[in-house]
Amino acid sequence: NPMCGDMITFYLKINDQDVIERATFESYGCAANIATSSIVTEKIRGMKLEDAWKISWKEIADEVGGLPAVKFHCGVLAVGALRRAIRAYYKLKNVKPSWLPDELTFEEKQALEEEELAERLAKRVGVVEEGS
């Protein structure tokens, strides 16, 4: 998140029926960021991708026990990162299910903004990814 530097990456193992068999995450940030990411991975295991897509950041915030207003972005970022992972999966398969919106959601835009910021910062400090 550009405001505080939180980052989340989800890793999903998805079977042929589009069911999430395994979900893990990598998170850099505050306790609320880690907690919301953890809740997302627990919640989506065994879910179809379409159902996982429908999870809202407010639902995640409630499951954490509530978030103060200054931490709402953690729930938004967690859901956005999940949706970006789902969209990336279908892009790799070169398939677009009818339920997947053409436009990025608010949550996805927030996650994308975070990804772009991380890339700019990495370039600024001279960090190069493997294979580059």
Contact present, 31 and 65 (Cβ < 8 Å): no
Cβ within 8 Å of residue 58, ≥6 positions away = 75
Q: How are beta strands 20-28 and 7-14 bridged, if at all?
A: antiparallel
**Active-site annotation, residues:** 4, 74
The CA distances from residue 6 to 94, 97, 117, 129, in Å, are 30, 30, 11, 19
Q: Give residues with Cβ within 8 angstroms of 26, minimum separation 6.
A: 8, 9, 11
CA separation (Å) from 20 to 25, 41, 54, 63? Answer: 13, 10, 14, 20
